[in-house]
Amino acid sequence: MFENLFTDASTIARHHNGPLIDERCRYLLHCASVGATLHTQRNRARAILRLAMLLPADVSGQVDAELLRHLISAHQPPATDQTATGLLNIGRPWLKFIGWWHQPAQPIAFPEALDRFVVWMRDERGLTPCTVEQWRYRTANFLRWCKETGRDLKSLEPEDIDAYFVTYGAQRWSRISAGHIARMLRVFFKHAASTGACSKSLAGSILCHRRYRFETLPYALGWHDVQRLINTATGGTEVDVRDRAILLLLAIYGLRRGEVAALRLEDIDRERGHIRVWRLKRHQPQIYPLVSSVEQALTLYIETARPSVAQAQLFIRTRSPRVPISAPGIYDVVNRRLRSLGVQAAHLGPHALRHACASKMLAEGLTLKEIGDHLGHRSAASTSIYAKVDLAGLRQVGEFDLGGLQ
């Protein structure tokens, strides 16, 4: 194993003779199997050897963040802040892999009610995984607050809901976010009441503030900011080539982050000039014309920058493990670049580009029906993508004046 990483005989011997050799080798072989580079493997091998020498002999299965920090800081000579951070970042996934990492579970309040709500959202309502996870997170926060403040779900009163918004949410949420959470809790309480977990009158007591039709328009980035964002990814590195393709898909087609993450190589039909997107809200595919800028960016990525991995997904992480990029990873691509530009907006993620796409199309004079088709909005009039969406008309939508993005 170590002969493939190092050339110096004394270095190889030190790694062979160090503690926890089986645990270290298993992890390094795993990392190699998912595409870790030689440079990364060498750094990992050095770091986990150092950590293996620091770990007490009887510590298996009991290492947590506090203990790991203590072991690193107590070692002499002391590690620099940068080295200590690197050891933590490498040590945590290694210890998780070998089953030694102890992560105290955060207690879930009223777990049965929460679990039933999640199952109902997923199986009966058919909500997307992203929506289910967001609603689960928000509901769990509320239930945890109830537990911490001595409130029982069965005996909740409208005044308790008011107290949650005043004492917990006032310093955390915008007016729009508060409205979203109020509507989410109303759905939760309707479901909980149907199972006997709370009062039937509770859901009706939650009143959402009035929202105005164009209240959320500031979410959209200005098109000048979209152009600036795209121009941050003009280099020839793997990161820039991949990110440019991702940013163009988000800006031109208004895709959701999960839709970009779900794209597969087979979805790109360069011969016919089409791209196939699985629409999360409609639960069905949608065919788009490949506009020239997107086709060029995708071709460059696929032919020159995408690593040779077995996965069929289009976009792959640029660092090991070389696995498909996740929806949160797509968010990070946008958020990191927008923050580097100093852009000021309510939201600095992929959805801001979706809003910008819609605003640009509206300014170009496209109808709401065309915009809705382009963005994949769920509607009763669109049940079959091939029957309901006119590709010729959609090509016009895809080729509207993108202000320099073509």
Return the active site residues. 256, 281, 351, 354, 377, 386
Q: What are phi and psi of 387, to 5 degrees?
A: -85, -30
Q: What are phi and psi of 382, to 5 degrees?
A: -125, 90
The DSSP-derived string for 259-289 is HHHT-BGGGEETTTTEEEEEETTTTEEEEEE
Q: What are phi and psi of 62, to 5 degrees?
A: -125, 15
Element (H, E) at 404: none
Residue 363: partners with Cβ closer than 8 Å, 6 or more residues away:
none
Contact (Cβ atoms closer than 8 angstroms) between residue 239 and residue 205: no
Cβ neighbour number for residue 62 with a 10 Å cutoff: 12
Nearest to 143 by CA among 183, 182, 109, 93: 109
For residues 356 and 226, what is the distance between their CA atoms, to the nearest angstrom?
Answer: 8
Contact (Cβ atoms closer than 8 angstroms) between residue 349 and residue 331: yes
Query: Burial level of 357, CB count in 10 A (0-12/13-18/19+)?
Result: buried
Which residues of 243-393 form beta strands (DSSP E)? 268-269, 274-279, 284-289
What is the torsional sign of CA 151, 152, 156, 161? positive
Burial state string for 372-398 with b = 16 or more CB within 10 A and e = fewer than 16: bbbbbbeeeebeebeeebeeeebeebb
Q: Which amino acid is at 294?
A: V
